[in-house]
Amino acid sequence: MCSRLLKKVCWTFLSSRLVSMVILLVLIAWVVPAAAIDGTELLKQVDRNLNPESYESYRKLINIEPDGRKKEFTLFTVKKGRDKVASLFVAPASEKGRSTLRLGDNMWFYIPNVGKPIRITSLQSVVGGVFNNADILQLDYAEEYTVEKLEEQGQEYLLHLKAKTKTVAYDRIRLWAGKEKKLPTKIECLTEAGMLIKTLYFKDVKDFGGGIVRPAVIETDSPLYKDYKSVILVAKTRARDFKDEVFTLTFMPNLESLR
Amino acid sequence: MKPVRSLVVAMAVLVIFSSVLHAAEEYTFDISETQKKPYHLGGYVEFRPVLSGLDQNAALYNLRFYNRNEGRTVSEYNAALQLEGSIEKGPAKLFVRMNVGYQDSYLGSTLTTAAYEAFLSLRPAPSLMVDAGKRTFKWGKGYAWNPVAFVDRPKNPDEPDLNIEGFIAASADYIRSFSGPLKTLSVTPVLVPVSERMNDDFGESGHLNAAGKVYLLLYDTDIDFLFLSGGSRTSRYGLDFSRNITTNLEVHGEYARIDDFKQSLIASNGSTRQTVSGVTNWLLGLRYLTEKDTTCILEYYRNGTGYTEKELADYLAFVHSAHDSYLSSGSAALLQKAAAMAESYGKPNAGRSYVYLRVSQKEPFDILYWTPAATAIINAEDKSYSISPEISYTGITNIELRLKGTILAGNRLSEFGEKQNNVRVELLARYYF
């Protein structure tokens, strides 16, 4: 009888300890999951999943007004490494031949009629609408931002990003990325004070071939442009290497030769 | 005014009509839109009526209208077709840009056709390009003026973005990229042959002129060193730069030294003389963009090849006295002498010192596709000026509409005060294809 009682006491004790340990483990897993994930590495993964480090792609930018009217621009974009991006307008006819170039913190805009590039800033927009030059000549997020905080929200990670320098278009960014594919689903661009400038929604994940599986549609809206919307449609993205000389002022009038 | 009023009404109807014709539809991206053809043909067609108010007291009015009475206003109707075509095969590309212009004015109708550019380009590698044919180079960082544009025709500061006709030349671009403070280095040698049948308006014929440019992107600053060797024109050399001081403030400048520059001068009594000396042209400017998308371009231009306030005033005084002589004697001899000098004294910005200010506001009050702007060009010595307010609309794909006015004002014997017009209204309608 004593041994039965002892066994019962031991079992009760062990059970309660086991339950406590399980509860503790669940709590630890719930409260501190991010400690196992490096935010910077996650951001780099998101960048690589969006695009190869060096690539070419065709994109269509569509500015949509509240009454449904739209203006479309087709761009051919090439990127190499950390800080070299160039875009060439392919359509419409009034924009054809115009190009933009980004080399580090320098940005230029080339109009064939003018015949020489002029310096522009990331906050300007050569296409109008909600998108600006920083959106068109996008570098890797890990290149321009540091990760201040990483949270888990259900099936998504939420990265709180801070601009590395004052030349970056947005002081702060909140980036939601799916846990499974590590692709962005939503990005909020904010001022230093936390005011929302615009929101980008990443949709319609497609396989572009060559291992590139990424959103094909990016919609943007902004409280600063109420009821206006801008959309980027991505097509024909592929990894491609380029000579550094492609990303120079002197080569800008010849970007068409890369197509 | 009736034709211009009709055109303004037409412009308004076009804008309203286009806003009714919209269709809310799903967005699509057809892959065929990205296919590149080996050839391209495009360009634009434009219609540009102009109405000018004549200043019947101005010296240049007397010079041009002494023997005709056109009333207080003159109108002109301009149309232009600019065609661009290119064919590519491998590393070779042939490019042609033609301009056909038609003008109907008080002087009659004229039709002009010019090949602005026609050249063959070889690109064996991204770091090496070779061009031969008729082309423009567009050297310089200035917006309204380019003192270092040694191998181009001068551009019109009232319309600095317009295409200009090139010269026949051979050139090459060699580019190298680096990491570190020097990010890019490129070298552009140029040869411009001049004979009686080729580039005859470049300068003295019978010379093969060498020119060149070295470009650096150094510490995030664009820097060019440029030269033109003596021959058809006197030798000249210069440099320019452009840099962002802050993300929304850019500064730029140009400096050019011209050796043995020849200038013909006429005194108020009609006596002429010629001077030969080294001169310096330079420009300093900035471009500032505000948070509200207001762009301000401010430039100061020191034109060493230009006329001083007194030299310009002497010429204009001579024109007045020549006109008085014509009225009293009926002889236009002195006016014809003045007209022979009009090409240099009457050209755009013939003076010594200028300020340029352009302010444009993109889509004010969030009204999409409208851009009002105003441009002022001030002769800093005689304080005369031109002011041009304008408004443009680009809401219809491939169509650009612009209404522009210009007011010229200044004291007697000042540059802008003695132009033949004191006011001008122009409508531009351009369709790109």
Summarised one tens digit per residue, pLDDT across range B134-181 is 999 999 999 999 999 999 998 888 888 888 899 999 999 999 999 999
pLDDT given for residue B11 in this prediction:
57
Task: Please give the residue that has the higher pLDDT: either B15 or A152.
Answer: A152
Which of B42, B162, B215 faces A250 most closely, judged by CB atoms?
A: B215
Same domain, A25 and A92: no
Same domain, A3 and A86: no
Which of A231, A249, A250 faces B27 most closely, judged by CB atoms?
A: A231
pLDDT given for residue B113 in this prediction:
95
Q: Which residues of B touch A247 (CB under 8 A)?
A: 177
Angle ∠(B380,B381,B385) on CA atoms, nearest 5: 50
Across the interface, whether the CB atoms of A250 and B186 are under 8 A apart is answered yes
Same domain, A235 and A199: yes
CA distance B61 to chain A (A): 32
Same domain, A238 and A172: yes
The sign of the CA dihedral A233, A235, A241, A247 is: negative
What phi, psi does B123 have (nearest 5°)?
A: -130, 80
**Is the per-residue pLDDT at B1 higher than 60?**
no
- Residue length, chain A? 259
pLDDT given for residue B21 in this prediction:
42
Same domain, A18 and A50: no
**Is the per-residue pLDDT at B95 higher than 80?**
yes
Q: Residue A115's pLDDT band (boundaries 50, 70, 90)?
A: confident
* Count of structural domains, chain A: 2
Mutate to test the interface with B, among A167, A222, A242, A257 (most CBs of B within 10 A): A257
pLDDT given for residue B29 in this prediction:
80
Across the interface, whether the CB atoms of A68 and B22 are under 8 A apart is answered yes
Q: What is the mean pLDDT of chain A?
A: 85
Across the interface, whether the CB atoms of B42 and A72 are under 8 A apart is answered no
The residue of chain A nearest to residue B142, with distances taken between CA atoms, is A118
pLDDT given for residue A28 in this prediction:
54
Its domain, for residue A18, covers 1-32
Convert the pLDDT of each residue in B37-84 to its tens digit.
889 999 999 999 999 999 999 999 999 998 888 889 999 999 999 999
CA distance B380 to chain A (A): 26
Convert the pLDDT of each residue in A192-211 to its tens digit.
888 998 999 999 999 998 88
pLDDT given for residue A128 in this prediction:
66
Same domain, A20 and A129: no
pLDDT given for residue B248 in this prediction:
87
Interatomic CA distance for residues B405 and B205, integer angstroms: 41
Same domain, A113 and A21: no
Across the interface, whether the CB atoms of A106 and B220 are under 8 A apart is answered yes
pLDDT given for residue B32 in this prediction:
76
**Is the per-residue pLDDT at B22 higher than 50?**
no
- Provide the pairing of β-strand A84-91 with A99-103: antiparallel
Across the interface, whether the CB atoms of A123 and B184 are under 8 A apart is answered no
CA distance A172 to chain B (A): 17
DSSP, residue by residue, A210-245:
TTEEEEEEEEEEETTEEEEEEEEEEEEEEE----GG
- Return the closest-CA partner of residue B388 out of B402, B403, B370, B376: B376
In this prediction the ipTM stands at 0.87
**Is the per-residue pLDDT at B12 higher than 60?**
no
Same domain, A53 and A25: no
Same domain, A136 and A243: yes
- Provide the pairing of β-strand B167-177 with B128-135: antiparallel
For residues B100 and B116, is the Cβ–Cβ distance under 8 A?
no
CA max distance for chain A:
102
pLDDT given for residue B19 in this prediction:
45
The DSSP 8-state label assigned to residue B114 in this structure reads E
For residues A224 and A132, is the Cβ–Cβ distance under 8 A?
no
pLDDT exceeding 70 applies to what percent of chain B?
94
Across the interface, whether the CB atoms of A68 and B129 are under 8 A apart is answered no
Across the interface, whether the CB atoms of B31 and A90 are under 8 A apart is answered no
pLDDT given for residue A246 in this prediction:
95
pLDDT given for residue A7 in this prediction:
66
Convert the pLDDT of each residue in B308-320 to its tens digit.
999 999 999 999 9
Q: Which residues of A touch B369 (CB under 8 A)?
A: 71, 128
Same domain, A123 and A155: yes
Per-residue burial over A56-89, b = 16 or more CB atoms within 10 Å of its CB, e = otherwise = bbbbbbbbbbeeebbbbbbbbbbbbeebbbbbbb
Q: Which residues of A touch B293 (CB under 8 A)?
A: 124
- Return the closest-CA partner of residue A256 out of A56, A60, A76, A55: A76
Convert the pLDDT of each residue in B355-394 to its tens digit.
999 999 988 887 878 999 999 999 999 999 999 999 999 8
Interatomic CA distance for residues A137 and B415, integer angstroms: 45
Mutate to test the interface with B, among A119, A167, A246 (most CBs of B within 10 A): A119
CATH at residue A88: 2.50.20.10
Same domain, A110 and A14: no
Same domain, A81 and A106: yes
**Is the per-residue pLDDT at A31 higher than 60?**
no
Task: Please give the residue that has the higher pLDDT: either B213 or A25.
Answer: B213
